[in-house]
Amino acid sequence: MKKLVSALLIVAMLLVCATACGPASETDELKVGFIYLHDENSTYDKNFMDAAKAACEAMGVTYLQKANISESNECYDAAVELVEEGCDIVFADSFGHESHLLKAAKEYPDVEFCHATGTLAHTEGLDNFHNAFASIYEGRYLAGVVAGMKLNEMIEAGEITAEQAKMGYVGAFTYAEVISGYTSFYLGAKSVCPSVTMDVQFTGSWYNEQLEKEAATALINKGSVLISQHADSMGAPTACEEAGVPNVSYNGSTAAACPETFLISSRINWEPYYEYIITCVKDGTAIAADWTGTLETGSVELSELGTNVAAGTAEKLAEVEEELKNGTKKVFDTSTFTVDGAAITTYMADVDTDEAYTGDTEAIEDGAFAESKARSAPYFDLRIDGITLLNEAM
Which residues are near other proteins by CB under 8 A? Answer: 4-5, 7-8, 11-12, 14-15, 17-19, 21-22, 24, 38-41, 64-68, 70-73, 77, 80-81, 84, 95-96, 98-100, 103, 119, 173-176, 204, 350, 353-355, 357, 381, 393-394
Cβ proximity to other proteins, 195 vs 353, nearer residue? 353
Strand 368-369 relative to strand 364-365, pairing: antiparallel
- Phi then psi for residue 158, to 5 deg, are 80, 10
Report the nearest approach of other proteins to the CB of residue 29 (Å): 17
Q: In terms of CB distance, is 67 or 160 closer to other proteins?
A: 67
- If you count DSSP H runs as helices and E runs as strands, how many of each does the chain have, helices first? 11, 17
- The minimum distance between CB 220 and other proteins, in angstroms, equals 26
Q: How far is the CB of 8 from other proteins (least distance, A)?
A: 6
| Cβ 180 to other proteins shortest distance, Å | 12
**In the complex, minimum distance from the CB of residue 267 to other proteins, in angstroms, rounded to a whole number:** 21
CA 75 to CA 102: how far, in whole Å?
A: 10
Report the alpha-carbon distance of residue 363 to residue 332 in Å, rounded: 11
CA 250 – CA 139 distance, rounded (Å): 10
DSSP 39: -
Cβ of residue 115: shortest distance to other proteins, in angstroms?
12
Q: Which is nearer to other proteins, 67 or 364 (CB)?
A: 67
Whether the CB-CB separation of 268 and 298 falls below 8 Å is answered with no
Non-local (6+) Cβ contacts of 108 within 8 A are: 80, 83, 128
Find the shortest distance in angstroms from Cβ 21 to other proteins. Answer: 8
* Residue 154 region by backbone torsions, left for phi larger than 0, else alpha for psi between -120 and 50, else beta: alpha
Nearer to other proteins (CB atom), residue 61 or residue 145: 61
Q: Of 7 and 314, which has the nearer Cβ to other proteins?
A: 7
Kindly tell me which of 214 and 360 has the beta carbon lying closer to other proteins. 360
The CB density around residue 280, as the number of other CB atoms within 10 Å, is 18
Q: Report the alpha-carbon distance of residue 200 to residue 130 in Å, rounded.
A: 32
Cα within 13 Å of Cα(29), Cβ side = 8
Find the shortest distance in angstroms from Cβ 316 to other proteins: 34
Distance, C-alpha 2 to centroid of its chain: 61
Query: Toward other proteins, which CB reaches closer, 156 or 392?
Result: 392
Smallest distance, other proteins to C-beta of residue 323, A:
31
**DSSP track, 215-251:** HHHHHHHTT-SEEEEESSSSHHHHHHHHHT--EEEES
Considering the complex, state which of residue 143 and residue 349 has its C-beta at the smaller distance from other proteins: 349
CA proximity to 235, closest of 70, 391, 227, 263: 227
**Pairwise CA distance, residues 140 & 168, whole Å:** 14
Eight-state DSSP code of residue 149: H
Are the CB atoms for 211 and 233 separated by under 8 Å?
no
**Residue 335 DSSP label:** G
Give the Cα separation of 89 and 99 in Å (integer): 17
* CB of residue 359 to other proteins, shortest distance in Å: 11
Pair 343, 382: CB distance under 8 Å: no
